[in-house]
Amino acid sequence: MSYKIITISRQFGSGGRTIGKKLAEQLNIKCYDKEIIDQVAEQSGFDKTYISEKGEDVKGGIFGTMMNRWSYNGPTNEERIWQIQSSIIKDIAEKESCVIVGRCADYLLADREDVLKVFIHADEDYRADRIVRLYGETDVDPKRRLKDKDKHRAAYYQIYTDLTYGDARNYHICLNSGAIGEDNCVAILRNIVQHVNN
């Protein structure tokens, strides 16, 4: 069997999303990223910005989020977004060969044998330069922005999957995009999808 679905988890600023898009283009399959937010918005009625904030990061109140996952008063908004998002990702994987960026797709699709699980990361300097180049300067120092985002994303992953964020053993391949190069990462992944039988 060959790999049909590629999940790309990524550190903020590492270029994982760009790698996912280029890979999907080269394989002539769809890349799901913001499209998932659109679908969650449609099914839940929540605002897209709200979903985008709640569907991959935990800001502040990490302990509170853990305690609230299933409160006695029924699921919280975060929990409802997680449930809808999870079901959408599973449906997409059932339907077509594709790349799925972020949103714990590696964990959600762990039972499937046709999923190649990828993690893209890079050193702080590389990511700081990249986010300033792509998203511009803000009042907050770029390294502070990275640290905050890393913390929020790791918290989300750990709370919802019960796995350690960034642990190589959760993935089939992890690449430092700064060291290996964005296009080389794409080529390595394309080669695996096209030539490796799992």
User: Tokens 């180049």, residue?
Assistant: 133
H/E stretch holding 101 reads strand 98-101
Minimum CB separation from its own copies for residue 11, in Å? 8
Minimum CB separation from its own copies for residue 49, in Å? 29
User: Tokens 């999870």, residue?
Assistant: 86
Smaller CB distance to its own copies: residue 19 or 84? Answer: 19
Interatomic CA distance for residues 161 and 159, integer angstroms: 6
Smaller CB distance to its own copies: residue 62 or 180? Answer: 180
- The number of beta carbons lying within 10 Å of the beta carbon of residue 54 is 22
Interface residues with its own copies (CB under 8 A)? Answer: 11, 116, 119, 121, 166-169, 171-176, 179-181, 184, 188, 191-192, 195-196, 198
Smaller CB distance to its own copies: residue 159 or 174? Answer: 174
Interatomic CA distance for residues 196 and 177, integer angstroms: 21
Q: Are 145 and 138 in contact (CB under 8 A)?
A: yes
Minimum CB separation from its own copies for residue 123, in Å? 9
Minimum CB separation from its own copies for residue 160, in Å? 19
Interatomic CA distance for residues 71 and 58, integer angstroms: 17
Q: Which long-range contacts (CB under 8 A, 24 or more apart) does 184-187 make?
A: 185/15, 185/19, 185/120, 186/19, 186/22, 186/23, 186/26
User: Tokens 């903020």, residue?
Assistant: 12
Minimum CB separation from its own copies for residue 154, in Å? 11
Smaller CB distance to its own copies: residue 138 or 194? Answer: 194
Smaller CB distance to its own copies: residue 36 or 109? Answer: 109
Smaller CB distance to its own copies: residue 99 or 189? Answer: 189
**Terminal Cα distance for the chain, rounded:** 6
Minimum CB separation from its own copies for residue 180, in Å? 6
